[in-house]
Structure 1
């Protein structure tokens, strides 16, 4: 499997994936001038810090296409995407003990390749290994493509919604939830395609 833990040497490439995927996936969904203003160099210091401070249950996993021997490519050699998971950031008491998929991004050239499914499966395995049996994620309500992906992977909207205005414009988000993925420490592969 070409999924491996992210390394500090991946910071620049993670920043590139993060920015370029936002620009591709959110075109038409959030203001274009904001998307145009995003630069990987602005995000790289944050990625370096996150990677150096990473502690369980927080995990950042990358999809690194396999070399001919079937092993994941080393740092700095062409990552296709990433997932980051940890304990839920939601403030309500009911969120305690629940994991969260903070982010999952795959370069648009790899959409439909299975990279997203592999990353999601690896992220859920990481959450299960940390003892979580339930997880949530937040998605733009208008991001139909992402919502289809999550629903195909067994996620369901749980009725929670919020508006994030931290970027100077409102982003309406809805929360998805998934449980049962940690039964016997495994992820139900049938649900992940």
Structure 2
């Protein structure tokens, strides 16, 4: 395997991040999201979102590389209260120290090579330095690969589910949570 690494994203990465997002969603979520919704996503809009995220935050964006190729990315941010609250609205004691994985995608052709784990561990380390103790991520119920990935990192569902309107089709998601104390293994 070529040298694999994770680094903070720069504005030079915006086009590749948008391409990876669109290509990966169109491939991985074809059975979960309506075709017209996926077809309607465009690179220019995605690039605008990622440019703003990298320039202005409030979170951090990292890219995974293998050799000269950008193969994945991860965006994490301080978790908004409504993303960590219990079903009754009560906030956990650690609410101010929880981060949310807004996106973690690795192109399927680069999958199963440790890129996702390196991305999550790097993002977790960055937020541990800022006082973070726990992370949350929302994953579609049907996305077994992502559910298994987070579980392999020691994260698990916490019993909270939500249903989103995905272009007129309900999309049920599980909330997963886990420690930011992650270690990379060879």
TM-score, normalization by structure 2: 0.85
For 1:9 and 1:189, locate their aligned partners in 2 and report how far apart those are by CA, in whole Å. Answer: 27
For 2:169 and 2:78, locate their aligned partners in 1 and report how far apart those are by CA, in whole Å. Answer: 27
SS at 1:116's partner residue? Answer: helix
Unaligned runs of 5+ in 1: 67-72
SS at 1:24's partner residue? Answer: helix
Aligned to 2:88: none
Unaligned runs of 5+ in 2: 86-90
State the Cα distance separating 1:166 from its structure 2 match: 6.2
Q: Which piece of structure 1 moves more, 119-128 or 90-99?
A: 90-99
Aligned to 1:69: none
C-alpha change, 1:90 and 1:170, in structure 2 (3 Å) is: farther
Aligned to 2:121: 121
For 1:188 and 1:115, locate their aligned partners in 2 and report how far apart those are by CA, in whole Å. Answer: 13
TM-score, normalization by structure 1: 0.82
Report the number of matched residues. 174
Alignment equivalent of 1:81, drawn from 72, 84, 87: 72
State the Cα distance separating 1:90 from its structure 2 match: 4.0
Conserved? CA contact 2:34–2:166, under 8 Å:
no
For 1:174 and 1:90, locate their aligned partners in 2 and report how far apart those are by CA, in whole Å. Answer: 17
For 2:64 and 2:31, locate their aligned partners in 1 and report how far apart those are by CA, in whole Å. Answer: 27
State the Cα distance separating 1:85 from its structure 2 match: 0.9
For 2:32 and 2:176, locate their aligned partners in 1 and report how far apart those are by CA, in whole Å. Answer: 19
